[in-house]
Each structure stands twice: as structure tokens, then as C-alpha cells.
Chains A and B, each alone.
Chain A
């Protein structure tokens, strides 16, 4: 039975305990210091500080497998605004672009449905990076491999939940059987709808073949920085290959027309124009 997580963003308080727990359990170092010199400034300026609300994680990277996003929705007059806070990580898709793209078998789906990335197998070809429509997988220059959340592979195979879910103080991140979590999510969604949250929606039932880590959002997915219609790129593989084969046939025919044997070298220039 697949295991997963249900992330109820409506009760997230943005404490980042999940980020800390993730770093601690997975022994992830701090993001490499990135001080660059802005020509306009006399002193080096740290580019890690984003100036984007409380978010200085900025992106999922080789050392940040979890990122709490802060979305501030405030009108000009500061009346009636709200915060949207969402803890983001790998979604462990049932149709995973990264897994489809991996040429070495470093990315594997385990018996519990999570997509793990075996660090001793990965060669660092980086093809999984553009193949993930959610922008999850990232390259680590420290290890020379791609890295991402594994759904705490070794914890869940030993009867523990994920580190982030364990640390979450509000229950926003819940770990368990995907089927049970869906029941919980549906109940929570109908409750929110009854309270007047018209735009509330669950993200992850249909996307990418179903996400084992799915979300309850209070607004459209794009507001939370998630693609509205995540495209698993390998769905286009057959058509793309077919058009390339057609191009290859065209080039082959051009070569045959141009270099074929001719009876005599007279007016052959005209007869190829067809």
C-alpha cells in the first residue's frame, strides 16, 4: 500500500520545523554560502537573502529538500489581506518524470510507492532536473549527484513516519497510507467549502498520475507556485520520436535524390525538383 503525505496548507503556520527536521534527519548541510560582489556595492552581498517575505530558501535544491513558501496577499490599503503558507517538497508522483528519464536506475520506486534516489548509483547526468515538472530534483555540486526528498526512505521502511511530519506542530503535514489520507483530505475540503472557502481545492489527485504527497490549497495551485497542469514530459515521447523519424526519412530521401546514379550527366539539375 502506497505511503504518502497530505499537506493541509490551511493550518500551516510557517514555523519551518519541517525544514529543520528534514535537514537534521537527512544530514543536509547549509546551502553553500553564495556571496557575490555587486559592482554597485563596495562589499560582497549575500544573494541567499531573497527579500521575499519570510522565505530565504528560495528553491528546492540539493541541500534544501523542503521549502516553506510564504505568499502574501494584501491589497494596497492593507485591509482584508491574508497569508498563504505552504510547505513544499517532492510529490512522489505515480507517473514520475524524473524516474522515467533516469538512464541509470538510480531513481527507483520502492514497495511503499515513494521515489527514492540511490546516491551510490547516480552519475550526475542531470537529465532528471528538467524532467520534473514541479522543479523538485536538483543537482548537488558537493556530492556530484542529483538529490531530492526520498520520503525518508529508511524511516518509512522501519515503521517510522517522515521526519517533517513528525516535527510538524499543527498537523499540517500528515504521513500515512495514501487511501486514508485522501479520506481525511476530502473531509477537510468539504468542511472548508462549508465555511465559505470557495476556491479551496485538493492538488494531486489527478496531476502526474496522482501524487502520493498531495496538498489542500485555499487558492489556485499557481498562487502557491505549483504548475496548474503539470506535464509529465515522457507523454510526448512517441510523437516527438515520430516527427524526428519523418525528418530522418526526408534527409535520407534528399541524400538519395542528390547522390543517386544517373544515366548521363546532362540536364539532371532539373529532374530533382520534385
Chain B
């Protein structure tokens, strides 16, 4: 931690949105994979929808990442040494390792997406159809999930491993908070897209709610750790527009309200919220995840 460290000047509409879309994509992919692996075939609807979300959402992110560079046309230097052309990796830099993880995750998300299209008969592509067996699909999903966890979390580690006071003092909790937020926003995105695709998600709603209850409690615990950790630099989280984003957007609307609604339905013995309420809560979770990323990114640069 050092009060004199320079702010990088990352824009919320590039890097903040990248953190959000990367988290939604990775969170959806992970849930789709785990639901497929451990759901015993009952959750084909969840995993198919998850893989339809993961790749298109990820496609939004390269323009955001390249757009924030001072020299956008040199983006390939992230992967290849500019002088020798050999692949370049700096293990002490989350940004360097994250670039490679993004390539790996993108490849797996693409394969799972294509696999989905072939499996649902929307794409008739002979080479892919021949390879369409259960084993490679599970390999993509397992490798992609490991890379997906990395994508969900490294953005928080990237902020923590700097000398900016707010980011350094909240070390080591932002990475874990971003993973939890990726999980809850990914689940919310899957639920909404299932509604939109008219795959009736009523039987799965209870499972989404159970997942939300656990993850939202984890998010609250990590948010408390972050506010305590920030200590005397927590002031930037209590003043100005980013304080409103963090407390009203991310914590109240994005976490406490959905958790309270979830808990109320669970405790009152109905086990389920009504569907319009569940849809509204899914939108609030997505909004909260976005404002969480933007507020922590921007407050750290004040």
C-alpha cells in the first residue's frame, strides 16, 4: 500500500464492463458444467442454456479490453513477444496470465457452444458431429470451468496486487468476492435466458434459489471483510457516486434484497418465490454485480 501510487485511469465503460461480462460468462459456464456433471442428466436445460450464454457474452469482451489500451493495434503483444514473436508469459503479472486464460477459456467456451448447436440439431457440421461424443464434451467443460474460475477471479487479484491504497488494503478478498459475484450473476443470467427460451425453469427455480442463498451469504461476508480491510481508506466507499453504487446498488439491491426475498419465500414454507418476483430478483442480481465491479474499480482510482 502506498498513498502515492498512480491510478491507472482505467475507464469503467471498458474495464468495468469487461469485469462484469467476463464474470457472467465464466459464472454461467461453471454452473452449466457442474449442473451437467453432478445433476445426473436432469439439468440438460441448465447446461445447454449456460453454454449458449457463455460464448456470446465472452465475445463482447475483447473490444472492451482492446479499447482501453493506449496502443490498441499492439494488443497481440499480450500473447507474443513483440521482438521474437515467441509466446510471452509473465507469471508474476495477473494481466499476462489472465490474457492466456482468456484464450483458453474462449476456446473451450467456443467448443461447448458449437457442441450445443450440433447436439440441438441447429448446426449440421459433419466434422463436429462425428466428434460429438460425451467424452470430449466433458473435457471441454472441465478445462473450460477451471479457466472460467480463473477468469472470474483474476480480475479481483489484479486489483488487489497493486499499490493503490483501496485495492491493496482490501487484499486478498476482492478476487473471492468477484468469483462469488460471477456465480450469482451467472446463475441469474441462466435463469433469465431459460425463461426467454421458454424452457420452463419452474423445477429448477428451487435449485437456483438454493445456490443463491449460499453464494449471497458468502458475498456479504466478503464485502464486510473488504470494508473492514479498507480501514482509513474506506472513506471513498462512503462518499460520492461510487458509495451510492456500492451500498445501494451492489449491497442493498444486488445482495440484501434478493437474499431477503429468497429467505422469506424459503422460511414461509413456500420454498419458491412467484416467478415475476424471481425474474425481478435476477435482474437486480445482475445490476448489483455490474455496480460492484464499477464501484470497486472507480473508487480505487479516486
CA distance A145 to B40 in the complex (A): 52
A269 touches B266 (CB 8 A): yes
Q: Cβ of B203: which chain A residues have Cβ within 8 Å of it?
A: 265
Cβ of A143 within 8 Å of any chain B Cβ, yes or no, is: yes
Interface residues of B in 163-178 (CB under 8 A from A): 163-164, 167-168, 171-173, 175-178
Range of interface residues on A (Cβ < 8 Å): 35 or more
A103 touches B95 (CB 8 A): yes
Cβ of A139 within 8 Å of any chain B Cβ, yes or no, is: yes
Q: Cβ of B77: which chain A residues have Cβ within 8 Å of it?
A: 104-106, 121, 123
Q: Cβ of B207: which chain A residues have Cβ within 8 Å of it?
A: 258-259
1/0 per residue, CB under 8 A from B, across A126-155: the answer is 110111111111111101111000000000
Q: Cβ of B149: which chain A residues have Cβ within 8 Å of it?
A: 245, 248, 251-252
CA distance A126 to B40 in the complex (A): 46
B8 touches A126 (CB 8 A): yes
A100 touches B180 (CB 8 A): no
Cβ of A236 within 8 Å of any chain B Cβ, yes or no, is: yes
Cβ of A243 within 8 Å of any chain B Cβ, yes or no, is: yes
Please judge, given known A-B contacts A135-B4, A243-B172, A247-B179, whether A102 and B90 are in contact too, CB under 8 Å.
yes
Q: Please classify the interface of chain B as helix (H, G, I), strand (E, B), loop, or mixed, using the class held by over half of its residues.
A: helix
A243 touches B6 (CB 8 A): no
A264 to chain B, nearest CB (A): 12
A240 touches B172 (CB 8 A): yes
Please judge, given known A-B contacts A240-B160, A243-B176, A255-B211, whether A227 and B94 are in contact too, CB under 8 Å.
no
CA distance A104 to B81 in the complex (A): 7
B75, B152, B176, B266, most chain A CB atoms within 10 A: B176
Cβ of B215 within 8 Å of any chain A Cβ, yes or no, is: yes
A268 to chain B, nearest CB (A): 8
Please judge, given known A-B contacts A100-B92, A252-B34, A258-B211, whether A130 and B163 are in contact too, CB under 8 Å.
yes
Cβ of A122 within 8 Å of any chain B Cβ, yes or no, is: yes
Q: Cβ of A134: which chain B residues have Cβ within 8 Å of it?
A: 2, 4-5
**Interface residues in chain A, defined as those with a beta carbon under 8 Å from any beta carbon in chain B:** 97, 100-106, 120-127, 129-141, 143-146, 225-227, 230-231, 233-234, 236-237, 239-248, 250-252, 254-261, 265, 269, 272
**Interface residues in chain B, defined as those with a beta carbon under 8 Å from any beta carbon in chain A:** 1-10, 30-31, 34-35, 38-40, 42-43, 46, 68-72, 74-75, 77-78, 81-83, 88, 90, 92-96, 99, 149, 152-154, 156-158, 160-164, 167-168, 171-173, 175-180, 182-183, 203, 206-208, 210-211, 214-215, 218, 222, 266, 271, 300
Give the 10 A-B CB pairs with smallest separation, nearest first: A124-B70, A247-B176, A244-B175, A261-B40, A144-B70, A258-B211, A103-B96, A130-B162, A135-B4, A240-B172
**Can you list 14 pairs linking A and B with CB atoms under 8 Å apart?**
A97-B163, A105-B81, A123-B78, A124-B70, A130-B5, A130-B7, A146-B70, A244-B153, A245-B153, A252-B149, A254-B211, A258-B211, A259-B38, A260-B39
